[in-house]
Amino acid sequence: MSRKPSPVPAARPVYSFVIPLFNEEAVLPILLHRMDRLLEKLDGPAEVIFVDDGSKDTCGIVAAGRAKDDPRYRYIALSRNFGHQIAITAGMDAAVGDAVIIMDADLQDPPEVCLDLIDRWKDGYEIVYAQRLSRKGETALKLWTAKMFYRALRKLTAVDIPQNVGDFRLVDRRALDAFRAMPERDRFVRGMFGWMGFRQTAVPFHRLARAAGETKYGWKKMLRLALDGIVGFSDLPLRVALWMGVAVSFAALGYGAFVLALALFGSGTGLASGWASMIVVLSLIGGMNLIMTGVVGLYVGRIHNEVKQRPLYVVGRTEGFQHAAAVPEVGITGRGRIPVTDRRKIAS
């Protein structure tokens, strides 16, 4: 049974909600129900943009169906899985609201907290982030590693990235336009917002356990995100590699002077019996070289990724944008774009 469409909004949305999806069929019906209730409480027109990041289950079908029937909803399907940070970037590119709210689909970010974010935005803040007071359903190891990562990141970089803050936040249109002018490929979105400045404040909340389904953000993805954050906002690993190289070089020179003195003034037996220590030193130097080469390689790899100038993402399909009062320009130079067929549909 199809849902009865709501009246088409006469004005451009004041609020845009960006929600990435990746195999969230178990939680999507609950999310849609709670989003409907939230939209009814808002003081202005709103749009909800679902970004399907290459899902293999039926959540894309459900989200596209809602976007087709309800003019408050939009659906963007990326051509493959590009990753969480790229998916929310695609949604922000398509958003036309004055305030854009980014949240996850698993309901660990409660939609009702958005009302508090909006209140602080009306107080004049341009970026309002949700700060976790507690995190239910997560292991002690994950909580500890997250705490250590943010503590290390604050020491390694000059960017003020608050602890216990994810991507759940409200962004004013002016701040969002500044964000969209940042074209880097390897993205750490919360760090990018921290780097931008603007007037920012926090709204505390208790993060809940997943409403249904399993987490899609495993240790591999978490480590990749941590690496993007450190390499993308700090050159300290390069400087550490430099000073480690200097230290090893001076140690090698000192050891060489010792061996030479032993050969000139000693009995010479130490040279014959010192092969074990020589092997240890050579292994240490070789290992240090590999570490330093790897650190430099990380930065060179990111430079290579940037100079290729490929789009951040490729849009495979859209739905619901024909209802939009203002047609979004999805992307700037180097960004993904709405397919031409969909633009013709919107124009008609």
pLDDT in tens, the chain (348 residues): 444 445 444 468 999 999 999 888 888 999 999 999 999 899 889 999 999 988 888 888 999 999 888 889 999 999 888 888 888 999 999 999 899 999 988 888 889 999 999 999 999 899 998 888 776 656 666 666 666 666 666 666 666 777 777 888 899 999 998 888 887 777 778 778 877 888 888 888 887 765 555 655 555 666 666 566 566 666 666 667 667 777 776 776 776 677 667 667 765 555 555 565 666 667 667 777 767 776 777 677 677 666 767 788 888 888 888 766 555 555 333 354 444 334 333 333
Task: Determine contact, residues 323/8, Cβ cutoff 8 Å.
Answer: yes
Q: Which of 30, 158, 25, 20 is nearest to 101 (CA)?
A: 20
User: CB of 124 within 8 A of CB of 201?
Assistant: no
pTM over 0.75: no
* Token reading at 236: 């300290």
Same domain, 241 and 293: yes
User: What SS3 string covers 66-114?
Assistant: HHHHCCCEEEEEECCCCCHHHHHHHHHHHCCCCEEEECCCCCCCCHHHH
Contacts of 264 (CB under 8 A, 6+ apart): none
Residue 4, domain member (yes or no): no
- Residue 1, in any domain of the structure: no
201 exposure class (CB count in 10 Å sphere: 0-12, 13-18, 19+)? middle
99-102 and 165-172 strand pairing: antiparallel
d(CA 106, CA 74): 18
Q: Classify residue 248 by its DSSP letter.
A: H
The answer on 329 and 258 residing in a single domain is no
Domain region containing 66? 15-234+310-347
- Whether 281 and 177 share a structural domain: no
Same-domain pairing of 164 and 213: yes
Query: Residue 142 falls within a domain, yes or no?
Result: yes
Question: 217 and 246 share a domain?
Answer: no
Same domain (yes/no): 192, 245:
no
pLDDT at 26: 86
Question: How many structural domains is the chain composed of?
Answer: 2
In a domain, 225, yes or no: yes
CATH number of the structural domain spanning residue 123: 3.90.550.10
Q: What is the pLDDT of residue 148?
A: 67
- Does residue 331 lie in a domain region? yes
Cβ 259 vs Cβ 271: under 8 Å = yes
